[in-house]
Amino acid sequence: MHRPPLPHPPRGPRRPAGTTARTATIALVTGAALTLTGAAAPAAAETDHPHRPRIHFTPAQNWMNDPNGLIHHDGVYHLYFQYNPEGDRWGNMSWGHATSTDLLTWEEQPLALPYTDDEHVFSGGIVFDEHNTSGLGTAENPPLVALYTSAYTGASERPGIQAQSAAYSLDGGYTWERYDGNPVLDIGSGEFRDPKVFWYEEGGYWVMATVVATEHTVHFHRSDDLLEWEFLSDFGPAHADGGVWEVPDLFELPVDGDPDDTRWVLIVNLNPGSVAGGSGAQYFVGDFDGTAFTPERLVETGPPDGEVFAGFEDGYGGWEVVNDLDGLGGEGPFGTEPAAGTLDGQHPVTGYEGERLLNSFVGGDAPRGHATSPEFTIDRDFVNLLVGGGHHPRTGGGGHASVDLVVDGEVVRTATGQDSESLDWVSWNVADLVGHTARLRVEDDATGGWGHVLLDHVMFSDDPVPGLADYDWLDWGRDYYAAVSYNDTPDDARVTMAWMNNWQYAQDTPTSPWRGAMALPRQLELETVDGRPQLVQNPVDQLESVYGDPVYERDRAPVHARGLDLPPAEPGQAYQIELTLRPGRAGEIGLRVHEGADQATVVGYDTAAQELFLDRTASGNTGLHPAFPSRSTVPLPLTDGALRLRVVVDTSSVEVFADGGRATLTDLVFPDPDATGISVRADGGTGSVEDVVIRPLGPDPNGAAE
């Protein structure tokens, strides 16, 4: 995203000289208490911050978000990015710039496209105009052309408008000149952004994908010269649309490596409303005929047949509503009757059924209260309900805003919003509670931003509503957003970069003097999984160039509740662990990294749920935002009773690549610097691990060459 989420209410510099690379020097060890060792950390790490990553790009200072303009040109990978040259929070959007020859070791370059008084520079892409179709270069020196979003300010002739503009470079992408005929595409919208452009070989023209963010549509345009654009078609809304759509990308890939059998992949990032909460990236697989994209698979949405328990069309009925717990003197947060949609001072509320809903924004976010339903007997396997509003889960602390199912005085199921005024379906499996007497209780105990709850159309059904987990996601963790791919990579490899953050708490992450990091670059392939083409993702092969020698290897070991300790890491060391988990009789088995006396990040498997999870609820500093403590999950059946994992651990992140890249989870973590332990534990029985290999990773990507 290119602006932070709106609260409720109301409605460059070069890298410092003297930075050196980190060189990993390690020895093979076998003892369980030995450490991963390395040479002295780079100057940036010694004087900077313990959470500065070792193998992930960060700017030397200031704010960074989306990757932009990804292109490989003349042997150099260019990474442009959303950047604030004047501070470590979002604002003054410009394009920063870094270059690399290996996608891992980066040199920060001068600011590429600075903001001006009348234009902020939002996201976009870059193409090599080899045949000078734009006329912005020459036949002898064809240009690189950037298509980016001009976010026009109040000082411009187009205040509040977002339109697509062009800039060009004649020196390989190091300096840029804005096209004097900008904008090149303006539809008069304030939510039209994020152009990604490619050459459509079969038709012999350029294609641009953009979004109209709030309409949840991707627009396709064509051009012969990159400067005049003609509308082709649009796609959407489809699948996840609980937040704005952003940063689209469209590309072709072979299926199972067969060049004669290809599909087109459309990536659509959205915020909020992802499968893990907040920001995320979904994708569709289908066909592009030069005009329109047609997906092969669309999941039907909407509830199954059932009994509507609460629709709020005729008032609160038998609900007990308690307002104004703090004596503020108003009728908030629920009012005297259900809301007829959007309330004063609230962003537009969408996704509810009928004319009314429970909306605890009466009086704004400050009032506290609760609403409790009449008793009912659970006689169906599922409770399906529409939920929206703020993301303040009961486990997050700081005052929750949630919808809870209460049985015998205990909360047995709970749901919260995603910092969105768009309601989305939640399904609770209550088969184990059939026959019990229950109540629904809506708690609004949150008083800050997004401190409210939306609820509508509570249904008792025999089946769940198709939900976010039924869609295809690039990553199932909390911190993988604005994913977009490189143009013109060697061997036509499809390589993506993404911002390793989440808009729910991005401006609160405890780092300085920088804020923002990129996830590891990934290579994407399409493989047939469960009878249909799906993306498989793994770190680019270049990661092997920074491998140290293995420091721990073990063929097989049993795992009990007391755990199996592995060698702890040296403070500040990045490392990779490869291992196979066999749950056996265990209900849960997990790898624990960044482990200290009272903290750890857990990569584990829940046998009953058949889910891989990444749990950072006790990962160190989790109090930076109520939404930060989390446990993300991805459905993933075992293969022959086992699950192969590749886990990349940096100073402030954990990235999980499971089952050969069929599932990925990415989370930021902020552990104590001395939380360096590594172990495997099993609960509810005995499991085992196999083929364990641990190796350090370096050099530091933010330094100079070795």
pTM above 0.95, yes or no: no
Specify the pLDDT at position 32. 33
Tokens of 575: 């490392």
Q: Strand ranges (DSSP E) for 174-216?
A: 177-178, 192-200, 205-212
pLDDT tens column, 493-506: 999 999 999 999 99
Specify the pLDDT at position 419. 86
Specify the pLDDT at position 29. 29
SS3 214: helix
Separation CA 166–CA 150 (nearest Å)? 9
Go through the chain and tell me how many residues it has: 706
Which domains are assigned to the chain? 61-298+473-534 (2.115.10.20), 311-372+381-461 (2.60.120), 547-697 (2.60.120.560)
- pLDDT-based confidence at residue 121 (cuts at 50, 70, 90): very high
Whose CA is closest to 26, among 18, 17, 14, 34? Answer: 34
Residue 495: how many other CB atoms lie within 10 Å: 19
DSSP bridge partners of 385: 426
- pLDDT-based confidence at residue 300 (cuts at 50, 70, 90): confident
Please state, in angstroms and as integers, the Cα–Cα distance from residue 302 to each residue in 269, 309, 371, 421, following that order: 22, 16, 26, 18
Contact 604, 589 (CB under 8 A): yes
SS3 320: strand
Specify the pLDDT at position 26. 26
Contact 271, 280 (CB under 8 A): yes
DSSP bridge partners of 529: 532
The tokens 């409790």 sit on which residue?
372
Pairing of strands 514-515, 62-73: parallel
Whose CA is closest to 665, among 525, 537, 484? Answer: 537
Annotated active-site residue 66? The verdict is yes
pLDDT tens column, 204-258: 999 999 999 999 999 999 999 999 999 999 999 999 988 899 999 999 999 999 9
Specify the pLDDT at position 2. 53
Contacts of 597 (CB under 8 A, 6+ apart): none
Is residue 329 scored above 80 in pLDDT? yes
Residue 47: how many other CB atoms lie within 10 Å: 11
Separation CA 354–CA 344 (nearest Å)? 20
Q: Which amino acid is at 702?
A: N
Whose CA is closest to 705, among 44, 101, 172? Answer: 101
The tokens 């749990």 sit on which residue?
615
Specify the pLDDT at position 15. 27
Separation CA 505–CA 508 (nearest Å)? 5
Contact 452, 262 (CB under 8 A): no
Residue 340: how many other CB atoms lie within 10 Å: 12
- pLDDT-based confidence at residue 510 (cuts at 50, 70, 90): very high
pLDDT tens column, 607-633: 999 999 999 999 999 999 988 999 999
Task: Specify burial of residue 131 (Cβ count, 10 A radius: 0-12, 13-18, 19+).
Answer: exposed
DSSP bridge partners of 207: 198, 222
What single DSSP character describes residue 473? B
**What percent of the chain clears pLDDT 90, i.e. is strictly above it?**
85
- pLDDT-based confidence at residue 466 (cuts at 50, 70, 90): confident
Catalytic residue among 48, 66, 241, 249: 66
Minimum mean pLDDT among 29-38, 120-129, 179-188, 611-620: which range? 29-38
The tokens 């003892």 sit on which residue?
31
Specify the pLDDT at position 301. 78
Whose CA is closest to 654, among 638, 643, 665? Answer: 665
SS3 135: coil
Contact 379, 327 (CB under 8 A): no
Most confident of 480-484, 546-550, 628-632: 480-484
Alpha helices by DSSP H, listed for 169-299, are none
Specify the pLDDT at position 642. 97
Q: Which residue has the higher pLDDT, 527 or 350?
A: 527
Tokens of 456: 């509508």
Separation CA 546–CA 575 (nearest Å)? 10
Whose CA is closest to 653, among 493, 475, 524, 531? Answer: 475
DSSP character string of 506-540? GGG---SSEE--BPPPEEEEEEEETTEEEEEEEE-
Whose CA is closest to 174, among 107, 105, 103? Answer: 107
- pLDDT-based confidence at residue 396 (cuts at 50, 70, 90): low
Separation CA 541–CA 359 (nearest Å)? 50
Residue 269: how many other CB atoms lie within 10 Å: 30
Is residue 41 scored above 60 in pLDDT? no
Is residue 480 scored above 80 in pLDDT? yes
Whose CA is closest to 652, among 44, 205, 34, 50? Answer: 50
Q: Which amino acid is at 425?
A: W
Separation CA 91–CA 121 (nearest Å)? 10
- pLDDT-based confidence at residue 167 (cuts at 50, 70, 90): very high
Share the mean pLDDT of the chain. Answer: 91
What single DSSP character describes residue 545? G
- pLDDT-based confidence at residue 678 (cuts at 50, 70, 90): very high
Tokens of 116: 């001006």
